[in-house]
A and B are shown apart, each in its own frame.
Chain A
Amino acid sequence: MLQDTAPGAAGASSASSADRGSWLRATWPLLIVIVVALVAPGVGVVWHVFAPPKNYAPDFTLVDQDARPFTLSAQRGHPMVLFFGYTHCPDACPLTLAHLARALRSTEVPRDARVAFITVDPFRDTPAAMKRYVDIYRLNFIGLTGSLSALQPVYDAYHTWRQAVPATHGPSNYSMAHGTAIYYIGRDGSLKGFGNWDDPISSIVHDLKEFQ
Chain B
Amino acid sequence: MRIFLAALVSVLFSTPAASGASGSIVVSDAWSRPATGTAVVYATLRNDGNVADRLVGATSPLATSVELHESSETKVAGAPMMMGNVKMPMGNSMMSMKALSSIPIPAHGSASLHPGGYHLMLDVRRDLHAGDVIPLRLHFARAGWIATKVSVRAI
Q: Which residues of A does B touch, CB under 8 Å?
A: 52, 55-58, 87-92, 94-95, 98, 101-102, 129, 132-133, 136-137, 158-161, 163, 165, 167-172, 175, 177-181, 191-194, 196-198
Contacts and interface: CB of A to CB of B under 8 A. Distances in A.
B23 interface: no
Contacts of B38: 87-90
Given A136-B36, A172-B123, A180 B67 contact: no
B81 A159 contact: yes
B127 to A, nearest CB: 7
Contacts, number: 134
Interface residues of B, number: 42
B126 to A, nearest CB: 11
A105 to B, nearest CB: 9
Given A191-B86, A194-B90, A198-B116, A177 B40 contact: no
B96 A172 contact: no
Interface string B91-119: 01111111111000000000000011001
B36 to A, nearest CB: 4
B69 A165 contact: no
Interface in B4-43: 33-40
Given A136-B34, A169-B101, A191-B83, A95 B116 contact: yes
Contacts of B36: 87, 129, 132-133, 136
Given A90-B69, A172-B67, A198-B116, A177 B35 contact: no
Contacts of A137: 155
B68 interface: yes
Contacts of A163: 94, 96
Nearest to A169: B99
Contact of A172 (B33, B34, B99, B127): B99
Given A159-B83, A198-B115, A91 B98 contact: no
9 contacts: A91-B116, A132-B36, A159-B92, A165-B97, A165-B98, A168-B99, A172-B67, A178-B94, A192-B86
Interface of B: 33-40, 64-65, 67-69, 71, 73, 76, 81, 83-86, 88-90, 92-101, 115-116, 119, 121-123, 127, 155
Contacts of A136: 34-36, 155
Interface of B, secondary structure class, is: strand
A181 B37 contact: no
B89 to A, nearest CB: 6
Contacts of B99: 167-170, 172
Nearest to B76: A161
A61 to B, nearest CB: 19
Contacts of B119: 90-91
A159 B88 CA distance: 10
Highest count of chain B CB atoms <10 Å: which of A56, A95, A163, A192: A95
Given A90-B40, A94-B40, A102-B155, A181 B90 contact: yes
A167 B68 CA distance: 11
